[in-house]
Amino acid sequence: MIGPVAGALLVALATDSVPRAAGVRISEPEPRRMSPVLDSSLGHGPLQPDSVQAGLARAVDRAVARGFLVARAGARGASWSDSGPVLELQADPGRRFRWGGVRDAGGTRLSSEALGRLSGLPSGEVADPADMASARSRLLSTGYVEEESPPRPVMRTGSSLVDMLVHLHDRPSSSVEAAAGWTKGGSTSGYVEISLLDILGTARDLEFGISNGSSGTVAHGMWKEPWIGSLDLQLRLEGNLAQDTLARSLEGSAEAGWISRDGSWEIALGLLAGRRAELAPGDTVFGPDLDEWGSRLSASWRSEPPSAWPVDAESVRGRVEGISASADTGSSHRLRASAHVEIFRPAGPLVVRLGGDARGVWPLDASAGLSEALAPGGIGGWRGWPEGSPRTPAWAWGIAELRIGSARSGGVVAFAEPGVRALRRQDLSWRPEPGISWGGGATLSFPGWVVELAVAARNDTRDWTESLLQVRAINRF
């Protein structure tokens, strides 16, 4: 708190030039923690109301940052000494407070313990109000909650603890999602995804899904524990199963993830295992199983939680895996890498989306079989190709898109996605195949629902005759 600068200050010191203080005198009892700051800020500075006010504000801010949240200071006037004018001050830092936790005055289902750990507020540490900015950012970055008003510190009665008071309500972050695709050639595909986030207010997540298309059936599941004991680390367990008439694979992984102080960065390190098999050309039964063991490093950054209609947002993610594989026929080593970048920017009534997606394996030779090939196509990826097709171990494509609409009602979209993917030769090696898809669509928003439609064409068929219709509906709750 800053007290008023005494009006008599300039009257007592009125001269042709602005005088400078010869020192400060702080009324008893002298506040030991504030004296050095006040003396350095005002002890030899100009005696003008603005300068004195600024010096007092710096001293109070320094005290508040050290946990003295009720610190106050004011100027009473000036007296003369042999050395010149001495500034007469009053100051009181009060007692030092420490963070107790996070208290919600809204309606979120997150427990007090979950709020405290998700926010990263340093419980028991000196209560610096600047800590609330990163704690607020980290809470909102989870995507679980939205705030009704900015947080503020509140003191516990009869205690030296202070809580960060927030006003939160739950976002509709969980979802059930279904999609289907139809091509002009007659093939169909589809998938179902279920995401249960912040289960019972514990910050635990469960996601699972299954898709079926021309490339066979793919199923996956993920469980996230928000903390590993007392450590501020996430534990993520994943499993993936894919099978068709040519290949099958089973993968599992365990990752420990660290989230940055503001919640925008996430870095994870994990272990993975897998088993794969596929048909060799001319065979009618699967070949020997290939067992894999490896490690994974992944990192991601996003400017804000995902939304149905982003307007001004960025996100980046990358992953590198080192794999050791063994079978009856011998052993091998492989490196896999993937990356994704996405940028949304407003341009008048339009929103521009630019980005790209890539995946690669090394070495990319005959040993990189169909059992480790993935499908980037469909609504979740390269939109000119049906969901679940094409299966390829390596690809890269760019995204250029124009949108017009709003988050409340949705809007329309026009896009083009040029890229290249690896296709298998007769000798089982891989060759690059460039391509491009383009099209348009619409996003319709309703209370609790988002419906997306897209129509796309691609240039890998004669005269661009192949077209694809895709529909996706998402129920958020």
With CA atoms as reference, report the closest residue to 105 among 138, 162, 70, 154.
154
Provide mean pLDDT across the span 357-364.
94
307 and 335 share one domain? yes
164 and 182 share one domain? no
268 and 416 share one domain? yes
Provide mean pLDDT across the span 459-470.
76
| Residue 120 · residue 131 · CB < 8 Å | no
**What pLDDT is stored for residue 8 in this prediction?**
39
**What pLDDT is stored for residue 64 in this prediction?**
92
**What pLDDT is stored for residue 465 in this prediction?**
65
For 11, phi and psi rounded to 5 degrees?
Answer: -65, -45
Does position 461 have pLDDT exceeding 70, yes or no?
Answer: no
Band (87; pLDDT cuts 50, 70, 90): confident
**Cα 40 to Cα 24: distance, rounded to the nearest angstrom:** 9
Q: What share of the chain has pLDDT > 70, as a percent?
A: 94
Token pair, residue 425, equals 């030769």
**Cα 336 to Cα 388: distance, rounded to the nearest angstrom:** 20
Provide mean pLDDT across the span 292-317.
94
Does position 45 have pLDDT exceeding 90, yes or no?
Answer: no
Band (463; pLDDT cuts 50, 70, 90): low
By DSSP bridging, strand 265-278 and strand 290-302 are: antiparallel
CATH number of residue 209's parent domain = 2.40.160.50
326 and 471 share one domain? yes
- At position 182, the amino acid (one-letter code) is W
Number of Cβ within 10 Å of residue 356's Cβ equals: 17
139 and 198 share one domain? no
Domain boundary among 128, 148, 170: 170
302 and 224 share one domain? yes
Number of Cβ within 10 Å of residue 285's Cβ equals: 7
- At position 43, the amino acid (one-letter code) is G
By DSSP bridging, strand 2-5 and strand 72-81 are: parallel
Condensed to tens digits (0 to 9), the pLDDT of residues 133-165 reads 999 999 999 999 999 999 999 999 989 999 999
**What pLDDT is stored for residue 209 in this prediction?**
95
Band (371; pLDDT cuts 50, 70, 90): confident
Handedness of CA 230, 233, 236, 237 (dihedral sign): negative
62 and 197 share one domain? no
The angle at the Cα of 212, spanning 210 to 213, to the nearest 5 degrees, equals 150
Domain boundary among 138, 170, 202: 170
Condensed to tens digits (0 to 9), the pLDDT of residues 4-36 reads 554 435 444 444 466 787 778 888 666 777 888
Condensed to tens digits (0 to 9), the pLDDT of residues 223-269 reads 999 999 989 899 999 999 988 888 899 999 999 999 999 999 999 99
CATH number of residue 49's parent domain = 3.10.20
Number of Cβ within 10 Å of residue 301's Cβ equals: 15
Provide mean pLDDT across the span 77-86.
80
Number of Cβ within 10 Å of residue 476's Cβ equals: 17
Q: In terms of pTM, does the model score above 0.75?
A: yes
Structural domain of residue 206, as residue ranges? 175-476
Provide the domain count of the chain: 3
Mean of the per-residue pLDDT values for the chain?
88
Domain boundary among 28, 60, 92: 92
Band (79; pLDDT cuts 50, 70, 90): confident
88 and 103 share one domain? no
HSE-up of 190 (CA within 13 Å, CB side)?
10
66 and 150 share one domain? no
**What pLDDT is stored for residue 11 in this prediction?**
41
The angle at the Cα of 393, spanning 390 to 399, to the nearest 5 degrees, equals 65
DSSP-derived letter for residue 126 is B
Please list, residue by residue across 446-469, b when 16 or more beta carbons sit within 10 angstroms of its beta carbon and e when fewer do.
Answer: eeeebebbbebbbebeeeeebbbe
With CA atoms as reference, report the closest residue to 390 among 362, 357, 422.
422
CATH number of residue 134's parent domain = 3.10.20.310
